[in-house]
């Protein structure tokens, strides 16, 4: 029988780190995709070992930020506050939801961030990760939880579900409770750029381009850069997602924002979609949390736990301060 003390839904960076806090427990992490890392994954079918999208860890304040930087030194991972010259923002929206600290980046890129965390998790012989398995049904019973995929059943004592995932209901006591979400498809364009004159951007460059009216991209980051070419990861803004023939806008927009110059040429365009199973703060998040509590209360035992993975800075603070509440 596939029985574990804990099962985590999804192999996101947050789930990987959270699993390492559970001592002397047999843990299974079930990932529905072929790649692990969630939004922080570094591989596609075309590109491998590369920063696919832009990331920032924004803490509540710099006291917490310092703790985050120190924490990762334990696994030989260097984080640092972003240099102001590498960070372009057109509004203060990135500070929303109590994110007032200085943004943090991985000193040697998010690929190293992912790889060192993954290698750290692999040092735990109590943690097993499986891929390409999608959980179709969760049945919570008094004695255990049963998870069903197409070909297998998995049994566990306790289950951890992150706030953003594609689970939409939990069965118990011959009924079920809904935990609704909204599917949002984030579309990124990876642009391979050739240039003759050096650019005024570095490997750590990040741009939040959300000044109204928002253009074709609302986020731009450097994935790779060398002396005469680079790869930019650009997120298509909401207003342009469903428009056709937008590729002609790419180069003029990046030149207007002074990210590229007149000596640049786009040599290759690659589209990368990432599904976000969004739960809004007004209803869905509270519904998700309350329904898990309702099931736990019904059976008189805490078996199902929600993991707040919405913002990496907030999650890491909870991780460091032992406030994940999954035991």
Please report, for the domain that includes residue 132, its CATH number: 3.50.50.60
For residue 208, with 0-12 CB atoms within 10 Å meaning exposed, 13-18 middle and 19 or more buried, which class applies? Answer: buried
Residue 1: per-residue pLDDT: 64
- The answer to whether 254 touches 142, Cβ cutoff 8 Å, is no
Judge whether 35 lies within some domain.
yes
pLDDT value at residue 2: 84
Domain match, 167 and 285 both = yes
| The residue to which tokens 């850069």 are assigned | 225
Across the strands, what pairs with 166? none
- CA–CA dist 108, 206 (Å, integer): 14
Structure token pair of residue 104: 């943090």
**Terminal CA-CA length for the chain:** 23
Structural domain includes residue 325: no
Total domains, the chain:
2
Q: E strands along 150-290, which residues?
A: 153-162, 169-172, 175-178, 182-195, 206-208, 217-225, 229-236, 264-278
Q: Are residues 177 and 187 in the same domain?
A: no
- The H or E element containing residue 241 is none
Do 233 and 101 belong together in one domain?
Answer: no
Question: Contacts for 194-198 with beta carbons within 8 Å, 24 or more apart?
Answer: 194/228, 194/229, 194/264, 194/265, 194/267, 195/228, 195/229, 195/230, 195/260, 195/261, 195/263, 195/264, 195/265, 196/228, 196/263, 197/261, 197/263, 198/227
CA-only gyration radius of the chain, Å: 21
Q: Are residues 312 and 262 both part of a single domain?
A: no
Residue 327 lies in a domain: no
Q: Are residues 215 and 297 in the same domain?
A: no
- If asked whether residues 118 and 245 sit together in one domain, one would say no
109 φψ region: left (φ > 0), alpha (ψ -120 to 50), beta (else): left
Give SS3 for 211: coil
- Reported as a single tens digit per residue, the pLDDT across 284-309 is 999 999 999 999 999 999 999 999 99
Same domain, 95 and 109: yes
**What are residue 165's phi and psi, to 5 degrees?**
-160, 170
- Residues 58 and 144 placed together within one structural domain of the fold: yes
Shared-domain flag, residues 60 and 15: yes
Q: Are residue 163 and residue 37 in the same domain, yes or no?
A: yes
**Which runs of E-coded beta strand occur in the chain?**
3-9, 27-30, 79-81, 87-89, 104-106, 127-130, 137-140, 145-148, 153-162, 169-172, 175-178, 182-195, 206-208, 217-225, 229-236, 264-278, 304-307
Paired strand residues for 234: 189, 220
Q: What tens digit of pLDDT does each residue of 238-296 get? A: 999 989 999 999 999 999 999 999 999 999 999 999 999 999 988 899 999 999 999 99
Contact by Cβ (8 Å): 46, 26: no
pTM of the model: 0.95
Q: Assess if residue 326 is contained within a domain.
A: no
Residue 244: inside a domain: yes
d(CA 30, CA 133): 6
What domain range includes position 203?
183-277
Q: What is the pLDDT of residue 97?
A: 87
> Nearest-CA neighbor of 6 among 157, 147, 144, 127?
157
pLDDT of residue 6: 98
3-class state of residue 43 by DSSP = coil
Task: Kindly give the confidence (pLDDT) of every residue in the chain, 327 residues in length, as a single tens digit, with 9 standing for 90 and above.
Answer: 689 999 999 999 999 999 999 999 999 999 999 999 999 999 999 999 999 998 999 999 999 999 999 999 999 999 999 999 999 999 888 888 889 999 999 999 999 999 999 999 999 999 999 999 999 999 999 999 999 999 999 999 999 999 999 999 999 999 999 999 999 999 999 999 999 988 999 999 999 998 888 999 999 999 999 989 999 999 999 999 989 999 999 999 999 999 999 999 999 999 999 999 999 988 899 999 999 999 999 999 999 999 999 999 999 999 999 999 999
Residue 133 has a pLDDT of: 97
Q: What angle do CA 90, 182, 164 make, to 5 degrees?
A: 80
What residues are paired with 172 via a beta bridge?
Answer: 140, 175
**290 assigned to some structural domain:** yes
Do 256 and 303 lie in a common domain?
no
């Amino acid at each position: 029988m596939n029985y574990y003390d804990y099962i985590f839904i999804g192999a996101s960076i947050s789930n990987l780190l959270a699993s390492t806090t559970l001592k002397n427990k047999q843990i299974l992490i079930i990932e529905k995709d072929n790649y692990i890392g969630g939004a922080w994954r570094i591989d596609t079918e075309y590109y491998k070992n590369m920063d696919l999208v832009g990331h920032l860890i924004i803490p509540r304040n710099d006291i917490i930020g310092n703790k985050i930087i120190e924490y990762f030194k334990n696994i030989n991972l260097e984080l640092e506050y972003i240099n102001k010259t590498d960070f372009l923002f057109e509004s203060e929206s990135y500070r929303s939801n109590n994110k007032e600290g200085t943004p943090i980046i991985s000193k040697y890129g998010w690929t190293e961030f992912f790889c060192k965390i993954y290698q750290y998790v692999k040092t735990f012989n109590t943690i097993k990760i499986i891929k390409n398995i999608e959980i179709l049904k969760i049945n919570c019973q008094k004695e255990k939880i049963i998870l069903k995929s197409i070909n297998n059943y998995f049994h566990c004592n306790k289950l951890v579900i992150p706030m953003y995932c594609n689970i939409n209901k939990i069965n118990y006591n011959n009924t079920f409770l809904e935990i609704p979400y909204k599917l949002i498809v984030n579309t990124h364009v990876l642009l391979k750029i050739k240039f003759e004159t050096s650019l005024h951007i570095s490997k750590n460059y990040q741009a939040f381009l959300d000044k109204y009216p928002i253009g074709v991209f609302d986020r731009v980051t450097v994935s790779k850069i060398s002396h005469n070419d680079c790869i930019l990861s650009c997120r298509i803004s909401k207003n342009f997602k469903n428009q056709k023939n937008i590729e002609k806008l790419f180069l003029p927009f990046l030149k207007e924002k002074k990210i590229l110059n007149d000596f640049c040429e786009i040599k290759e365009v690659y589209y990368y979609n990432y599904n976000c199973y969004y739960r809004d703060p007004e209803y869905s998040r509270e519904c998700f949390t309350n329904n898990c509590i309702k099931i736990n209360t019904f059976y008189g035992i805490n078996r199902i736990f929600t993991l707040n993975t919405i913002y990496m800075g907030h999650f890491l603070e909870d991780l460091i301060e032992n406030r994940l509440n999954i035991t």
